[in-house]
Amino acid sequence: MRPIPVDTPAFFNRGPSPRARLAFFGLLSLALLFADTRYRYLENVRQAAAIALYPMQRALEMPGAAFAFVSDYFGSKRHLADENVMLRQELVARAPATQGYARVQEENARLRALLDVRAQYAASAIAVQVLYTGRDPFTQKLFVDKGSTGGVQPGAGVIDASGVVGQVTRVFPYMAEVTLITDRDQAVPVQVERSGARSVLFGNGTGRSPELRFTSPSADIRPGDRLLTSGLDGTYPPGLAVAEIVDVVRDSGQMFARIVCKPVAGIDHSEFLLVVSQSSALPPRPDEPGDGDAVKKGGRVRGRRG
């Protein structure tokens, strides 16, 4: 004789229990997270989903854009006239530098030819507009309105009117993601304008100032010094303004000085940016002996110059 089953029969088939579902989807998310952090396998999936989301995102910008357009339209004539005068003055103020630049460039080319140095670079530039700032509180990112169809290459540098903003890290067909120089561990090779000392600027994450790391306490760096790109990385053309030194803490107990910097560019408020890339490729890298860490190497180079 069979015992009467005590479990209530499943009247309504509802599939696996929520706990089973949570376990399944939780593990799946963990696998995705792992694949994304370690191997970047999923860029294709991301591209596809990004294309699907793109029209929505553009549509959502419309109210803001319409508001800006209307307020522009009704903006006072006085304001526009003032702005016009200011821009004209600025243009004239910059004229000597611009006019001199062509001559200097020509002279430079001639001298370089004399010295038999490789032509420096022919940077290409693409003007872009910021669509929106990244919504992830852990990273510092911007999205701009041109992507692979507009000729933006991953890895290109991004600057605004006053200095370096960041680097293109991901390119979608119609937009591109720019990682700001203040993002955690985002590195920019720099050179101190006054002394020529080389170092690497590292971002420190949201709300914290970038720093020069691995710089010896005896380095010739003072508060107020301007940092320019050194162009050693082949990403940023040399000579672009990056940051200004705010504070130098030299502690004899530490191996490196703590050097706090402030970015020159309007990192969080520039609307129009320029994507610059060095078209001439650098010579191929020599094979690294063993597991050479790029960061450590930068520090050593810097130390030798001392």
Partner 1 sequence: MRVLPHVGSFVPAGPDEILRPAKPWFVLASLFAGLLLNLVPLQDPVMTYRPDFLALVLLYWCIQEPRFVGVGIAWLLGLLMDVGDATLFGQHALAYAVLAYGAEHFRRRVLRFPLWQQAVQVAALLVLCALIVLFVRFVGGAPLPKWTYLAPPLVGALLWPLVSVLLQTPQRPSHGSRR
**Applying CB under 8 A, which residues contact partner 1?**
14, 18-19, 21-22, 25-26, 28-33, 35-37, 42, 45-46, 49-50, 53, 56-57, 60-61, 64, 131-139, 141, 143, 170, 177, 184, 204-208, 268
Least distance (Å) between residue 44 CB and partner 1: 11
The residue among 160 and 225 lying less far from partner 1, judged by its C-beta, is 160
- Cβ proximity to partner 1: between 65 and 95 the closer is 65
Give the DSSP per-residue string, 105-133.
Answer: HHHHHHHHHHHTPPP---EEEEEEEEEEE
Cβ distance to partner 1 smaller for residue 135 or 300 = 135
**Please, what is the minimum distance in Å from the beta carbon of residue 50 to partner 1?**
6
Tokens of 231: 């162009």
Q: Name the residue nearer to partner 1 (CB basis): 141 or 302.
A: 141
Query: How many CA atoms, within 13 angstroms, populate the side-chain half-sphere of residue 171?
Result: 16
User: Closest distance between partner 1 and the C-beta of residue 94, in Å?
Assistant: 29
Nearest distance from C-beta of residue 64 to partner 1, angstroms: 7
Residue with Cβ nearer partner 1 (31 or 282): 31
Query: Which of residues 101 and 138 has its CB atom nearest to partner 1 in the complex?
Result: 138
Question: Residue 202 corresponds to which tokens in the numbers above?
Answer: 């590292």
Smallest separation, CB 115 to partner 1 (Å): 45
Smallest separation, CB 244 to partner 1 (Å)? 22
Our CB check for partner 1 shows the closer of 36 and 193 to be 36
Round the CA-based radius of gyration of the chain to a whole number and report it.
Answer: 26
Q: Which residues of 201-239 are buried (b: 16+ CB within 10 A; e: fewer)?
A: bbbbeeeeebbbbbbbbebebeeebbbbbbbbbbbbbbe
Please, what is the minimum distance in Å from the beta carbon of residue 186 to partner 1? Answer: 12
